[in-house]
Chains A and B, each alone.
Chain A
Amino acid sequence: MSTVAIVTLAGDLHARVIRRQLQEVHGVDVAVVASDTLSAAGGLTWSNVAGQELTLPTEDGGTVSVADLDLVWWRRCHGRPTVPDAVTDPQMRKLVVKDNRAGLRGLLMAGFSGTWISDPYATERAQNKILQLSVARSVGLTVPRTLISTDPTAVRDFARAHGGTVIAKTLTGLLGTSLEAGRVSVDSLVDDDEITVSATVYQEEVPGTDHLRVMVFGDAVHTARIRSGELDWRLANDMEVEPVVIHPRLGDRLREVTRRLGLRMGVFDVKLRPDGEPVFLEVNPQGQFLFVEGMSDMPLGEAFADFVVDELAAVRGRAFA
């Protein structure tokens, strides 16, 4: 029997749905490792002394042997880690978080020989929006004209060159605070310090109301159209979500972006211009996809479980080759 570990945050809805699907439909053992509660869980052990089993704690209070794992879904390795209140020194609290994180990563990198969805370092690298935009363009995708800068003159010139108003958005994000994309006009770009303090993404606005959320799971491509009058649909109350089929060429290009970033999966945000041209906005290496199922009844939990099973078959094929 195959064993899968899902490394994620405690109480993750995606992990629950996929675990249930894998266990009940495919008979795959699934261990959920909560990366944010390691300091309270115990059970993390690595040693180079012969006979010592490598183990990780599971969310249900047990442990899983790393030697038994065939596949790791590296879904959420950060988040807000829990540190016991009894650790009062802020520096030591930080050390607890860092050492647990290094222990988790190191143990898997040294002791796990199965397949990743996706490799931790590829995942981290692929998160960078500058790299994403460059790779997307290199495979022939249309991308918005973009400036990422801390130079007030360059930012104001860019806004003027694009009709006086551009989109501004963060390069990364914050847990618990929604940082939406928004419009900034050149008239509002008067405070140099606000521009200089941190690198920000400035983009030409892509008009239209139709967005695509494209889930690339290995070779499979699943697409939902999200229709919303909001510039940023993430907190939109008016969004309508339904499955659509995209042009094979777009699917091929998105798969190629995933491949070039070294990922096994990617969740893409694409916007459709009124003339129908799809414009790449970003890829989330471990993007959320089950809200699409919740909104549209697309069976994405089932699709992702099928993808995991295919990956497991490939691991076994390599093992017996």
Chain B
Amino acid sequence: MKKLAPMAARFSRTHEGYQHPAKLDAWEQAVMGSELEAMRWPGGSISGSDDGWDDCDE
């Protein structure tokens, strides 16, 4: 079967391996402390992404 994805999938990126700016990282660390890593995707910022906040699925 032909594999098909929507146009937007051409530009999909996971947050894996992404290092967000050090200044933002330091600020998030100061706010969240030791809980920070559990709250974010690997490398991702927890204060900057609007993606998919209206997702409905489990």
Contacts and interface: CB of A to CB of B under 8 A. Distances in A.
Nearest to A233: B48
A168 B41 contact: no
Tell me whether chain B's interface is mostly helix, strand or loop, or mixed: loop
Contacts of A178: 12-15, 49, 51
Contact of B24 (A172, A173, A176, A295): A295
Given A168-B7, A295-B23, A179 B54 contact: no
Contacts of B46: 11, 13
Interface residues of B, number: 41
Given A94-B58, A174-B55, A294-B23, A234 B47 contact: no
Interface residues of A, number: 53
B8 A179 contact: yes
B20 to A, nearest CB: 8
B41 A235 contact: no
A312 to B, nearest CB: 24
Tell me whether chain A's interface is mostly helix, strand or loop, or mixed: mixed
B4 A168 contact: no
A237 B52 contact: no
Given A80-B58, A180-B13, A198 B7 contact: yes
Contacts of B4: 193-194, 197
Interface of A: 11, 13-14, 16-17, 76, 78-81, 83, 93-94, 97, 101, 124, 127, 168-170, 172-182, 184, 193-195, 197-198, 200, 232, 234-235, 237, 239, 267, 284, 286-288, 290-291, 293-295
